[in-house]
Amino acid sequence: MTTFTIQNPVDLTATHPDSTGQHIFITEKLAAKALLCSPVHFRKQVANGTFPQPVRFSKRKRFWIQKELEAFVSNAIAARGI
């Protein structure tokens, strides 16, 4: 299985019963950079449901869960058979 790690995630966590006990949230700009696309393209892919949906903390504050983005990339790679 291919490992994908986002560098320098936002220092914001929430309790969740997973192996680490926490989620790591990242900003839209960092998520777009991690997926090697522009923020505009990233927003369009989120809007059409291609990329994972954000967690909203307010109308303007949106963050993505790092593990969901990593799983998205891993699934895309696996679907290609690499």
pLDDT, tens digit (0-9, with 9 covering 90-100), for 15-56 = 444 556 678 899 999 999 989 999 999 999 999 999 999 999
- Asked, for residue 58, whether it belongs to a domain, the answer is yes
**What pLDDT, on the 0 to 100 scale, is given for residue 42?**
96
- Asked, for residue 67, whether it belongs to a domain, the answer is yes
Please count the structural domains in the chain: 1
- Asked, for residue 51, whether it belongs to a domain, the answer is yes
- pLDDT tops 50 at residue 13: no
- Asked, for residue 5, whether it belongs to a domain, the answer is no
- Asked, for residue 1, whether it belongs to a domain, the answer is no
- Asked, for residue 57, whether it belongs to a domain, the answer is yes
Residue 24's DSSP bridge partners are: 13
What's the whole-model pTM score?
Answer: 0.70
Domain encompassing residue 44: 13-80
- Asked, for residue 8, whether it belongs to a domain, the answer is no
Residue carrying structure tokens 């994972």: 52
